[in-house]
Structure 1
Amino acid sequence: MADSTTKTEVVILGAGVIGLSIAHVLTTKFPNAYNVRIVARDMPGDLSSQAFASPWAGANWSPIGGFDERTHKRETATFNKLWDMIPTGLVLSLPSRIYYHTADGLDQLWYKDLVRDFRVMDASEVPAGAKGGVRFTTVSVSPEAYLPWLHSELSARGVQFVRRRVHSLGEAAALAGPRGILVNATGLGARSLVGVEDAAVFPIRGQTVIVHAPAITEFVSFPLDSPSPNGEATHMIPRPSPAGNVLLGGTFQPGNWDTSMDAATARGILARCAALAPVLASKETQVLGHNVGLRPARKGGPRVEVEWVDTPLQSELLPVPESSAAGRVMVVHAYGFGPAGYQNSWGAAEEVTDLIQANINAL
Structure 2
Amino acid sequence: MSSENGAIVIVGAGVIGLTTALRVQQEVLSTSDKSPPSIVIIARDFPKDTSINYATPWAGAHYRPCPGDTPQLRQEAKWAEKTYDTLDSWADEDKLVAGVEFMPGEELFENPAPEYVDVAKDVARSAYAHLASSFELINSNELAATNEDLSHTPKLGFRYRSYCLNSPVYASFLQRRFQRNGGRVKQYTLASLEEAFALEDSVSVVINCSGMGFGDPKAFPIRGQTCLVRNQISKTITHQNADGSWSFAIPRPLEGGTIIGGTKEPHDWNPYPSAETRQTLLSNAAKWFPLHSADEGTSGTDSFDVLRDIVGRRPAREGGLRLEVERRSIKSSKSGTRQTRGVVVHAYGIGGRGLELSWGIADEVVSLLRKQGTLSLRAHI
Task: Give the whole-Å Cα distance in 1 for the aligned partners of 2:192 and 2:335.
Answer: 14
| SS of alignment partner, residue 38 of structure 1 | strand
Within the alignment, does 1:257 sit opposite 2:257 as a pair? no
Tell me the equivalent position of 1:25: 23
Q: In structure 2, what residue type is equivalent to 1:22?
A: T
| SS of alignment partner, residue 236 of structure 1 | strand
Q: Which residue of 59, 72, 76 maps to 1:71?
A: 76
Task: Give the whole-Å Cα distance in 2 for the aligned partners of 1:324 and 1:350.
Answer: 35
Task: Give the whole-Å Cα distance in 2 for the aligned partners of 1:279 and 1:342.
Answer: 24
Q: Contact (CA 8 Å) 2:197, 2:203: kept in 1 or not?
A: no
> Structure 1 residues 8 and 350 mapped into 2: Cα distance closer, same or farther (>3 Å)?
farther
Within the alignment, does 1:302 sit opposite 2:305 as a pair? no
Tell me the equivalent position of 2:127: 111
Correspondence list, 1:213-232, <5 A: 213-214=231-232, 216-223=233-240, 227-228=244-245
How far did residue 146 of structure 1 move? Answer: 0.8
Tell me the equivalent position of 2:56: 54
| SS of alignment partner, residue 290 of structure 1 | strand
Q: In structure 2, what residue type is equivalent to 1:54?
A: T
Instruction: Provide, for residues 325-360 of structure 1, a one-character-per-residue CA deviation record: whole Å limited to 9, x for no partner.
Output: 532111000011111000111111111011112213
Q: In structure 2, what residue type is equivalent to 1:45?
A: K
Structure 2: 5+ residue runs without aligned partners?
145-149, 297-303
Task: Give the whole-Å Cα distance in 2 for the aligned partners of 1:85 and 1:38.
Answer: 24
Tell me the equivalent position of 1:133: 157
How far did residue 108 of structure 1 move? Answer: 2.9
Task: Give the whole-Å Cα distance in 2 for the aligned partners of 1:224 and 1:34.
Answer: 51
How far did residue 69 of structure 1 move? Answer: 3.0
| SS of alignment partner, residue 260 of structure 1 | coil
| SS of alignment partner, residue 95 of structure 1 | strand
Q: In structure 2, what residue type is equivalent to 1:139?
A: Y
Q: TM-score, normalised by structure 2?
A: 0.82
Instruction: Provide, for residues 96-124 of structure 1, a one-character-per-residue CA deviation record: whole Å limited to 9, x for no partner.
Output: 11122237322335222233511122222
Q: In structure 2, what residue type is equivalent to 1:95?
A: P
Tell me the equivalent position of 2:254: 241
Q: Choose 154-163 or 339-348, whichever is displaced more.
A: 154-163
Q: Contact (CA 8 Å) 2:13, 2:42: kept in 1 or not?
A: yes
Q: Choose 10-19 or 57-66, whichever is displaced more.
A: 57-66
Tell me the equivalent position of 1:316: none
> Structure 1 residues 224 and 60 mapped into 2: Cα distance closer, same or farther (>3 Å)?
farther
Instruction: Provide, for residues 1-50 of structure 1, a one-character-per-residue CA deviation record: whole Å limited to 9, x for no partner.
Output: xx52343311111011100001111111222433111111111211x221
Tell me the equivalent position of 1:151: 175
Q: In structure 2, what residue type is equivalent to 1:39?
A: I
What number of residue pairs does the alignment pair up?
Answer: 341
| SS of alignment partner, residue 25 of structure 2 | helix
Larger Rg: 2
Q: Contact (CA 8 Å) 1:11, 1:175: kept in 2 or not?
A: no
Correspondence list, 1:323-342, <5 A: 326-327=338-339, 328-342=341-355
| SS of alignment partner, residue 283 of structure 1 | coil
Task: Give the whole-Å Cα distance in 1 for the aligned partners of 2:335 and 2:143.
Answer: 62
Structure 1: 5+ residue runs without aligned partners?
314-320
Q: Contact (CA 8 Å) 2:10, 2:17: kept in 1 or not?
A: yes
Q: Which residue of 4, 7, 16 maps to 2:5?
A: 7
Task: Give the whole-Å Cα distance in 1 for the aligned partners of 2:370 and 2:241.
Answer: 38
Root mean square deviation of aligned Cα:
2.5
Q: TM-score, normalised by structure 1?
A: 0.86
Q: Contact (CA 8 Å) 1:174, 1:324: kept in 2 or not?
A: no
How far did residue 301 of structure 1 move? Answer: 1.1
| SS of alignment partner, residue 251 of structure 1 | coil
After TM superposition, what 4+ stretches of structure 1 lie above 4 angstroms from structure 2? Answer: 176-179, 278-282, 321-325
Within the alignment, does 1:166 sit opposite 2:190 as a pair? yes
